[in-house]
Amino acid sequence: MSAPSSLAPRLSWGRIALFAALGLFALFFLTPLYVMLSTALKSMDEIRNGTLLSLPLSPTLDAWAKAWSGACTGTDCGGLKPFFMNSVMMVVPAVGISTLIGSLNGYVLSKWRFRGSELMFALMLFGVFMPMQVVLLPMSQILGWLGIASSIWGLVLIHVLAGIPSTTLFFRNYYVGLPDELVKAAMLDGANFWQIFRRIVLPLSTPILVVTLIWQFTNIWNDFLYGVVFSGADSKPITVGLNNLANTTSSVKEYNVDMAAALIAALPTLFVYVVAGKYFVRGLTAGAVKG
Amino acid sequence: MGALTIEQVRKTFGNVEILKGIDIDIEAGEFLILVGPSGCGKSTLLNMIAGLDVPTTGKILLGDRDITHLPSKDRDIAMVFQSYALYPNMSVAQNIAFALEMRKVPKAEREAAVQRVASMLQIGHLLDRKPGQLSGGQRQRVAMGRALARNPKLFLFDEPLSNLDAKLRVEMRAEIKRLHQKTQTTTVYVTHDQVEAMTLGDRIAVMKDGQVQQFGTPDDIYSRPATRFVAEFIGSPAMNLMTAQRAAAGLAASGVALPLAEVQRASISAGAANEVSYGIRPEDIALVSADQTGALPGRISMLEPTGPETYALVETALGVLTARVPGKVVQRVGDAVALQWSPLSAHLFDAKSEQRLA
Amino acid sequence: MSAPSALRTPWLPKLVIAPSFVLSFFFIYGLIAWNGYLSLSASRLLPNYDFVGLEQYVKLFDNDRWWVALRNLGIFGGLFIFGGMALGLLLAILLDQKVRAEGVLRTIYLYPMALSFIVTGTAWKWILNPGLGIEHLMREWGFTNFEFGWLVDPDKAIYCVAIAGIWQSAGFVMALFLAGLRSIDDSIIKAAQVDGASLPRIYWRIIIPTLRPVFFSTLMVVSHLAIKSFDLVMALTAGGPGYATDLPATFMYTMAFSRGQIGLGAASATIMLATVAAIVVPYLYSELRTKK
């Protein structure tokens, strides 16, 4: 449904108020981004002499360079670069593995139902919502025993485990919409479990694949809780780096560097959002609204 | 042993008995119809023949092979689904060849099969298109082509024509019959449409509530329905049925004595039935003038002209009866007429057990 | 269709899903149980599996800081949920009015969800900076007596967290409500118009009530986001000043990993779990039942 058409394009007072409201809200959402950007392009002098909203008079990329390779994040002063790399090395396997497993699980739960499979699904579903605080302590122990407590693989493992319920949910709900008769026809044609998956179900999965990849990438890249609990000295992801950078109690606070660092951390997910935003929205609504 | 034998097949799901003991036996090359209202179990039975479901007890034999528990791919059966179930991501040619590909048939042979089938069904010009680009009738043909390409021992059709409009349905029905005559493959065809059943089938199994009410040729089903349900299900407009009680030497309903032949009187007397359902098909009733002796007087309450015939609904002492009159009816609504039929055209059923008496 | 039976290898689907199921089951329920046991144990810096009954829970509810965290959860949660839902619904209704720039506006309202809460927290920390942020801006604009030291005010800081939180998630709520609005059958609206109802009336009497299911599922998602809030607080205030903006999630983290109070941390985590479960489980149960 879209709104009743009688009030659509005429320019009335109501319409003007509508545009004003929409515009104001747009400002509300965009201003922080503007502030981040402009602050990151200023020098500290300019910041002290100006206000939040003043334009950068002589924009410079110094803060960005420092954020990337020179800022202090605790005891090291190597900038965000190592953290960025850690995040990349963590995100790629975590997203790939959790998506793959989710697609197989969704395939089984939707097309190969058996006694108890719905119950299995329901039990797994709780994992989408439960507060992760409750697994932090036991997981630290387990990662310690496995010897991966301070490595990227520890983070990959926990992101995969935490992601499987969500990815399974996405794929299962999507595959339920694929006609069962396709699978039946393929079985009569002689295809086995794997052939049906590879030749018929997977080729039809592109929409949900994109949604799931974007959803997982955004969540895993943006995660902080696991990053701060489960990483060792060399495996901290970029969110942890950013937080350390912005919160170091060093002598002089360099707000421009802080903002530049925040933007660097935000760039990958923002880029994905701008490029593939509508799939992102589909992911949000699919995950949250469905049961 | 016929080409397909279904032996005492039962299916229970939880507490519900979906199939209550089905026995059907057909010869090679025969066209079997499973017909009945929704929920009668015909699709369940078809799924079991296909291997997509398993009977709780009973056996299914294809030739002399017991296929009851064989997986679908080992049964050498092809199926056309109601929704056609064409693979959306593959071209028509790939759809048709898919089963052959699964059986590791070499490429040259696959292509030959595709060509053979395409010319049989006249879909050669569609081979590179995807199913999404085809019309309903074209998709139907491709679905059949996919089944034909395999040269299976058995064809299964699951209400393949229900998604088509009326005109297309008639065309495709003829197409299916033509193909069957050409390939002579044993076929099982599920439908809820009795016209399809009568025109396509060599043998028909009329099902209701998980049981086969009658299994026979179209003529058997039409001329000698075994139960009241079969009598009402086949034939359009439906058979006129009235409940009659024993009276004097015959039957009477609503005070009117019903025309009976000797052999029918004998069946009634022999049986223990007190109440009898008396049925007469609209096409067996003649519309005559109101003063005709021996005919049942009445008044026309509605006329439905269909072109070649007219259905006349006539209010009589026995209730509203429908008569099928060739051509046009001279009388008009409200006019007095009379209805006449030969007693031998009547069908008698025990009112309680619904089984045929005569 | 008893699908697996139609295969030559009917055990295969079960085999494929088994590892995930076993792992997930252990990861979720096994670890919950383990954490639960830790909360009943005497663990401090290291796990100590001596059973002490509910001692940790007693300690928990005796702890001033925990009560601050709970109070903050109430304030923050209430504002976050109410503010986020209201703003999101408003935005959805506004965008539903056949606006030409809808696509662009939707992108603008929703982009904050693509950001990490750490990014959001860092940005708002700067914006709300007492000396150089909004306060300074307002003063430059002429409001010379404007004061906005909320961020470092122990009583007011939690409101800053709420503001940042609403900013981040209003777009998400909007997206959910917009999807719900769009799924309403046109003919119902047309019938109401023919019956002479005005636009606000239509929204109030017909559209909003029809959105009830969307409303509840959104409420559930936003609530559980509120309870789990950790990243935002850590970036914006690090729980400060002092522990004035502590939330249960930050409390748990601090106790378990900085203060060497594992048992206490586990107890707080269990309380969080119970709260989320109380909201989510009935919802999931009713959803899965209606799907059948």
Fold of B239-350: OB fold (Dihydrolipoamide Acetyltransferase, E2P) (2.40.50)
**Do residues A52 and C127 touch, judged by C-beta distance below 8 A?**
yes
User: Other C-beta atoms within 10 Å of B334: how many?
Assistant: 8
Per-residue pLDDT tens digits for B35-61: 999 889 899 999 999 988 889 999 999
What residue in A sits closest to C92 (Cα-Cα)? A22
Q: Percentage of residues in chain B with pLDDT exceeding 90? A: 48
Per residue in A138-166, pLDDT (tens digit) is 999 899 888 888 889 999 999 999 999 99
Asked if pLDDT for residue B1 goes beyond 50, the answer is no
The Cα angle at residue B81 between residues B79 and B85, in degrees rounded to 5? 105
Residue B318: name the closest of B262, B278, B288, B261 by CA: B278
Determine the pLDDT at residue A251: 63
Helices and strands (H and E) in chain C: how many = 15, 0
Whether the pTM exceeds 0.80: the reply is yes
**Predicted confidence (pLDDT) at residue A193 exceeds the cutoff of 60:** yes
Q: Comparing C-alpha atoms, which of B86, B76, B78, B73 is closest to residue B123?
A: B86
Q: Does residue C96 sit in helix, strand or coil?
A: coil
Q: What is the pLDDT of residue B71?
A: 86
pLDDT in tens, A268-291: 999 999 998 887 777 666 654 443
CB within 8 Å: A108 and C91: no
The shortest CB-CB distance from B71 to any of C1, C2, C7 is to: C7
Burial environment of residue C189 by CB neighbours within 10 A (0 to 12, 13 to 18, 19 or more):
buried
Residue among B50, B88, B89 whose CB faces A188 most closely: B50
> How far is Cα A196 from Cα A191, in angstroms, rounded to an integer?
6
- CATH of region A81-289, choose from 1.20.210.10, 1.10.1520.10, 1.10.3720.10, 3.10.129.10: 1.10.3720.10
The three-state DSSP-derived secondary structure of A162-188 is HHHHHHHHHHHHHHHCCCHHHHHHHHH
Please determine whether the domains at B4-232 and B239-350 fall in the same fold group of CATH.
Answer: no
- Residue of A191, A244, A259 whose CA lies nearest to A46: A259
Q: Mark out the alpha helices in chain C (DSSP H runs).
A: 12-25, 31-39, 55-62, 64-95, 102-110, 117-127, 134-140, 157-182, 186-194, 199-202, 208-210, 212-228, 231-236, 248-253, 262-291
Q: How far is B215 from chain A (nearest CA, A)?
A: 27
* Average pLDDT of the segment spanning B346-354: 84
CATH 1.10.3720.10 residue spans of chain A: 81-289
Count the Cβ atoms, other than its own, within 10 Å of residue C289.
Answer: 9
At residue A290, the pLDDT reads 43
**Class at the top of the CATH hierarchy for domain C63-260:** mainly alpha
Residue C32 identity: I
- Do C2 and B54 count as a contact with CB atoms less than 8 A apart? yes
Chain-centroid distance, C-alpha B279: 20
- Domain definitions of chain B by residue range: 4-232, 239-350
| Subunit contact C6:B51, Cβ cutoff 8 A | yes
Q: How far is A205 from chain B (nearest CA, A)?
A: 10
| Beta-carbon contacts of residue B64 (< 8 Å; ≥ 6 apart) | B1
- Coil vs helix vs strand at B3: coil
**CA–CA gap between residue B326 and residue B308 (Å, rounded):** 6
CB distance C119–A123 less than 8 Å?
no
Strands (E), A159-267: none
- Edge-first strand order for the sheet with B31-35 is B77-80, B154-158, B186-191, B31-35, B203-208, B211-216
B residues 138-167 lying closer than 8 A (beta carbon) to A: 146, 150
Out of C98, C105, C122, closest to residue A22 by CB:
C105
> Given an 8 Å threshold on Cβ–Cβ distance, is B74 in contact with C6?
no
C-alpha span between B33 and B46 (Å, rounded) = 11
Residues 6+ apart with CB under 8 A from B57: B8, B9, B10
Mean pLDDT over residues A176-205, rounded? 91
Looking at chain A, the whole-number percentage of residues with pLDDT higher than 70 is: 92
Yes or no, beta carbons of B53 and C7 under 8 Å apart: no
Residue at B112: amino acid letter: A
Inter-chain Cβ pairs, chain B and chain C, closer than 8 A: 18
Q: Which amino acid is at C170?
A: A
When CB atoms are compared, the residue of A1, A33, A290 closest to C181 is: A1
Q: Which of residues 168-207 of A touch B (CB under 8 A)?
A: 179, 181-182, 184-192, 195, 199-200, 203-204
Taking CB atoms and an 8 Å cutoff, what residues of chain A touch C167? 28-29, 32
Q: Is the pLDDT of residue C108 over 80?
A: yes
Average pLDDT value for residue range B315-326 = 90
Task: Show which residues on chain C lie within 8 Å of chain B, measured between beta carbons.
Answer: 1-3, 5-8
Cβ–Cβ under 8 Å, residues A284 and C114: no
Q: Which of B151-155, B228-232, C177-181, C183-187 has the lowest mean pLDDT?
A: C183-187
User: What does the block give as tokens for C87?
Assistant: 């703003």
Mean model confidence pLDDT for chain A:
87
User: What confidence score (pLDDT) does residue A288 get?
Assistant: 47
Using CB atoms, which residue from C13, C235, C273 is nearest to A114?
A: C13
Strand partners, B303: B312
Mean pLDDT of A197-205: 93
User: Does pLDDT of A35 surpass 50?
Assistant: yes
Q: What is the mean pLDDT of residues B77-102?
A: 92
| Chain length of chain A | 291
Which residues 6+ apart lie within 8 Å of B219 measured at CB? none
| pLDDT at residue A285 in the model | 66
Mapping DSSP to helix (H, G, I), strand (E, B) and coil, where does residue B158 land?
A: strand
The CATH class for the domain spanning B4-232 reads alpha beta
Query: Do B322 and B237 meet the contact criterion of CB atoms below 8 Å apart?
Result: yes
**B 283-342 → A contacts, CB under 8 A:** none
